Structure 1
Amino acid sequence: MASRKYAAYAPAAPYFDLVRRALGDRVDGEHFFDIVADDIAYEVLYEFPGWPRVLRGRTELMASFRGYVDNIALQAVDTLVTHVADGGRVVVLEYEVHGTVLATGAKYDNRFCSIVTIENRKIAYWRDYMDSLAAWNALTARGR
């Protein structure tokens, strides 16, 4: 079952659930990591210390998300706006995340725009935009 298989990633569950719901029957798989292609290219178009610009493959993506969930716990992901293009092959997701930086207890609120390309019922390519300053401010805050 996906919930046990990916239990270590529970702090990001609201994000994974939102993406899975947003893509609906365009992809196959129960959990976020099940709906990404083995050779996914996950590109982030922002500079953030410690996060690479391009992640290649499911294994590398999972390792990077492991670092994410070791540092941030999400409580909610909302304000989803979905745009479908190219006959459903491309889906643009706009959303906000709300969480806590685990080391300091600082609030983490951010906005994202993700462009998802689907091939063979899996996410083949992901391009991500976020408010880098919001992330930086949350991760460098001194805490409560």
Structure 2
Amino acid sequence: MPETTVVPGPREIFERMRWHWLENLGGIGGELAEDVVIEVPFAPSGRTRRYEGREAFLHFAGPEQAAFARKFRLDEIRDVVIHETTDPEAIVVEYELAGTVIATGHQAASAFIGILRVRDGKIIHWREYQNTLAMIEVLGATERT
């Protein structure tokens, strides 16, 4: 009997993303297609809002994630709601990232909405809408400590 391999869809890939965010922040590269497009439409002024290709994103993400991890510990991803779409490659996810400012012990959370598109078990498009004001306030507080 031939072996069948189940290719992960968007729900499974989102679960992997959650795991990476909590356990291995920089490890998401293996989930990205080579030609992935990652968009952050509400990025603060002066920040990149679109990354084209895995290498371009990882070039940005590595230093950003390292700087973030020195200031903030991500404790949980909560209030996750996954919305199916008519496209089997795509889901819409709502979630909240919650964590602790390392220098002060202050706990904070921020809401997100993401649109995830997966093909052949790889992320081909991720568009994330962030509550940037909440993030700036929390991370700005770390600058004052």
Query: What is the deviation of 1:117?
Result: 1.3
Q: Distance in 1 between matches of 2:61 and 2:15?
A: 15
* Aligned partner (choices 54, 61, 64) of residue 65 of structure 1: 61
Query: What is the deviation of 1:58?
Result: 1.5
Query: What is the deviation of 1:121?
Result: 2.4
Q: Deviations over 1:71-103 (max 9, x none)?
A: 233111111100121342111111110123456
2:34 alignment counterpart:
38
Q: Distance in 2 between matches of 1:133 and 1:118?
A: 29
Query: What is the deviation of 1:43?
Result: 0.2
Query: What is the deviation of 1:110?
Result: 0.7
Once the two structures are overlaid, the 10-residue window that deviates more, 117-126 or 102-111, is: 102-111
Of structures 1 and 2, the larger Rg is shown by 2
CA contact (8 A) 1:77 1:95 kept: yes
1:135 alignment counterpart:
135
Once the two structures are overlaid, the 10-residue window that deviates more, 80-89 or 34-43, is: 80-89
Q: Distance in 2 between matches of 1:87 and 1:18?
A: 16
Uncovered stretches (5+) of structure 2, i.e. residues with no partner: 1-12, 19-26
Over the matched positions of the two proteins, sequence identity in percent amounts to 29
CA contact (8 A) 1:43 1:127 kept: yes
Question: Superposition pairs for residues 46-85 of structure 1, below 5 Å?
Answer: 46-48=42-44, 51-66=47-62, 67-71=64-68, 72-85=72-85
Q: Deviations over 1:8-58 (max 9, x none)?
A: xxxxxxxxx964278xxxxxxxx6322211111100011325641011221
CA gap 1:32/1:65 in 2 versus in 1, 3 angstroms: same
The one-letter amino acid paired with 2:66 is V
TM-score (norm 2): 0.68
Count of aligned residue pairs for this structure pair: 119
Where does structure 1 differ by over 3 angstroms across 4 or more consecutive aligned residues? 100-108
Q: Distance in 2 between matches of 1:61 and 1:103?
A: 28
